[in-house]
Amino acid sequence: MSLADSRLARVRAVADAVLYEGYLLYPYRASSSKNHSRWQFGVLGPPRASAAAFAEDPRMSLECLLRVAPDSGAAAGSSVTVHLRFLQAQARSVERRVGEEHVPVDRLVVDGQSLLSWQEAVECEVTLPPYPLDERSEEAGAGTVRTTVDVPGGEDTEEVRDRTGAAVGRIVRRRSPLTATVDVTARAGPGPDPSLVRLGVTVVNVHPDTASTKDEAIRLSLIGAHVLVQAEGAGFVSLLEPPPGAVDAVARCRQHRCFPVLVGLPGETDLVLGSPIILYDYPEVAAESAGALFDSTEIDEILTLRVMTMTDAEKREARATDPRAAEIIDRCDAMSTESLQRLHGVLRDPHPPTGEASDATYDAGDVPWWDPAADAGVAPARDSVVVDGVRVAAGSVVRVHPSRRADAQDLFFAGKEARVTAVLSDVDGSTHVALVLLDDPAADLHEWYGRYLYFAPDEIEPLDPAREESRS
């Protein structure tokens, strides 16, 4: 079932990124040990799995807040529609033809191209009937509507022929049936605001079969499971940045293995995504991204460059592993220099004059944006910062007092005297002071290599300038 509604269609790119996160990991080859432990996010495992199956928790749930008109007449038209989305594992078995029989094999080479046995996935999406909000109750569980979701299994066979037309084998794809329940409930409050409604959505894998191995468990799992919830006649409240009147109510919402964030265009409040991956409100796929790479916490530029360094043999195996892997390899191979540069040089201004986030390409002519020469007005060796009324610059002697960002290593430097090597500013306008410790035997070497310690101005104490002159 497709997301036909235009408002839902706008968030499909983000929802699909959640759906396929971890589907296939770099280097995208079946022989890679990383890809022996796929399906990393949003996996709802079968409830009757043995300990040896290492199945995931069968349940995920979310609670979020909506604001509706407080009078019952206006609330009568308010409702929510839940869209459950997940992947169904599909085992792809390659079989060689031997006489009139077919024998399963790990690999079948046909006209120089390899076909591999592997585990694919099929997209599943179920849209539940609208749930009215006008019958909400003060009691937990009252008014709960349960929907049972049954996804049939299946088997598809694809004949494989060589260039002469001779049948040399076949590909058999098998899927196990899946069963889950979705509970939707709404209740008033909490709190004195009559317009707030607490909505709960719980998804549970209730497959009746026992899974005794990891492969069996994943075949009976909902993979990449998440929900899109659409409101009609009501608006969702941000749980990350709640308005003052809803802070206490937000604190009482409970989440289990997923978290609801606002999605759509900034400012819209009719859609939330219950994601198993940590996201912020109104997430989006970067415009510079040329396509999905699936690897967790992916960085497009780094992964694209790594794909480009793969050998021809490695790329052939990746293409044989999965059609989506083949798309990644082909896309990276065909990427132009201009497209690759787009992955690297865009700065986002979080505080533009209009108050809206904007993107701008940093144009430094022929000088890369990371080169200090791109801005002749910046001179770390000459720049200074005033601390406690004292000018601090390269050569100044200070005492270190790690505070607001102190970690275990920073604490080793507490009370140490250091020499300032540079004063720097970052693109966000923050100032950083680069130091080398005076009692460090390797201080000269660190300075030569440029391996400095960095502290904020409020973490250093200027020492007597006379002492500074005596050390110079």
- At residue 344, the pLDDT reads 77
- At residue 362, the pLDDT reads 46
Percent of the chain that is helix, strand, coil (3-state, to 5): 20, 35, 45
Strands in 73-219 per DSSP E:
79-98, 101-105, 107-110, 113-116, 118-127, 131-132, 145-151, 154-161, 167-175, 178-188, 196-205
CATH code, residues 377-471 = 2.30.30
- At residue 382, the pLDDT reads 84
- At residue 360, the pLDDT reads 46
Please give the structure tokens belonging to residue 20: 């396929």
Q: Which residues of the chain have pLDDT under 70?
A: 1-5, 70-76, 135-142, 296-298, 345-378, 404-407, 427, 465-472
- At residue 2, the pLDDT reads 43
Answer yes or no: are the C-beta atoms of 89 and 46 closer than 8 Å.
Answer: no
- At residue 9, the pLDDT reads 78
Amino acid sitting at position 408: A
Instruction: Parse the chain into domains and list their residue ranges.
Output: 6-298, 377-471
